[in-house]
Amino acid sequence: QITLRESGPTLVIPTQTLTLTCTFSGFSLSTSGVGVGWIRQPPGKALEWLALIYWDDDKRYSPSLKSRLTITKDTSKNQVVLTMINMDSVDTATYYCANFWFGESFEHWGQGTLVTVSS
């Protein structure tokens, strides 16, 4: 059974850096073809893809947010970490992680974590 769970702060001060961790089980990021991505959803709005990382450490970022994002993996801990710098109120959203196979859609989703950006 594949599960993913997001963790991190619920409140972030504007201009600060957000660090989120996705901890997963039921698959390994050392397996060829596997990847994990991050997606966010502002309240009442659509899903927005942020970043993804492949088993071979190849990384891709949303062009509109690329300068603010860093994605890394710790295969031994079954974790993927997303860092977003210079947070603003417009970044208030529920942040999800999800896994996928190379060339396939996101398949298993975490429950999401709501991050509020406010002073």
Interacting residue ranges for other proteins, rule: CB under 8 A: 37, 39, 46-49, 52, 60, 62-63, 96, 98, 104-112
**How open is the CA angle 5-38-107, to the nearest 5 degrees?**
70
Picking from 108, 118, 113, 117, the residue whose alpha carbon sits closest to that of residue 41 is 113
Smallest separation, CB 25 to other proteins (Å): 16
Q: Which is nearer to other proteins, 8 or 49 (CB)?
A: 49
Nearer to other proteins, 46 or 90 (CB): 46
* Minimum distance, C-beta of residue 111 to other proteins, in the bound complex (Å): 5
Cβ 15 to other proteins, closest distance in Å? 28
Question: Beta-carbon neighbour count of residue 9 at 10 Å?
Answer: 13
CA dihedral 81, 109, 32, 56 (to 10 degrees): -20
